[in-house]
Structure formats: C-alpha cells, structure tokens
Amino acid sequence: MLELIALVCGLILCVYLPIEAGKVRRGWVRKSFKGTPEEFRAAYVKQVNYFMWMGVGIGIIDLALAPLNAEGGEWVFNVISAVLWLTVAGIGFYTKGQLAQKPA
C-alpha cells in the first residue's frame, strides 16, 4: 500500500511541479501568501529544493530496498517507484534552474 501511495504522489509531483513553476516564473503568487512576488519566488525555490532532495532520498531508498523484496515480484514496484522519484528530483533540479533565471 505504501508503494502505491509513493507512486501516486510521485506522479502528481511530476505533473504539478512544472505547471506551478511556470506560473511562479510569470509572477503568480498564492492568495494566502503575504509578500511580494520576489519573496514568493524565493520561498517557492526552497520548496522545489525540498522536493528535489526528497526525490533523491526516496529514490535511493527504493533502489536499496528492491533486492530485499525479491520474492513475489515486489521489487518491480520498488524499482518503478525509485525511477519515478528520481524523475521528480530531476524535474525539481530543472525547475530550480528555470526559477533562478530572470522572470519571463
């Protein structure tokens, strides 16, 4: 069940991060945020950095656990989850670079 939750969350982040980063790059600010667009952008870069490192951590842990679940084919889900979370880390790295550039 935990693998399923990790897969769904990873898929959501793979879609969500680039879409919201594009809006932030154009100057969008959440309604609940009290501050300037530049402050929001800085806070969002910290959030993307968190997702990036979380993706690296979960991906490496899933790869390390895959050989331990060799029975019954559960290792396949660990490898798929690892690839997905490492993709989240890659998207976070790319998004962080895009947000570091000047606004569009």
By three-state DSSP, how is residue 18 classified?
Answer: helix
The number of folded domains in the chain is 1
Give percent above pLDDT 90 in the chain: 60
Predicted local confidence at residue 60, as pLDDT: 95
Residue with tokens 């990873």: 10
Quote the pTM value: 0.87
What is the C-alpha separation between 86 and 80, in angstroms, rounded? 10
Q: Domain range for residue 18? A: 2-100
Q: How confident is the model at residue 100 (pLDDT cuts 50, 70, 90)?
A: confident
pLDDT tens column, 41-76? 999 999 999 999 999 999 999 999 888 877 777 888
Q: What integer pLDDT is reported at residue 66 of this predicted model?
A: 86
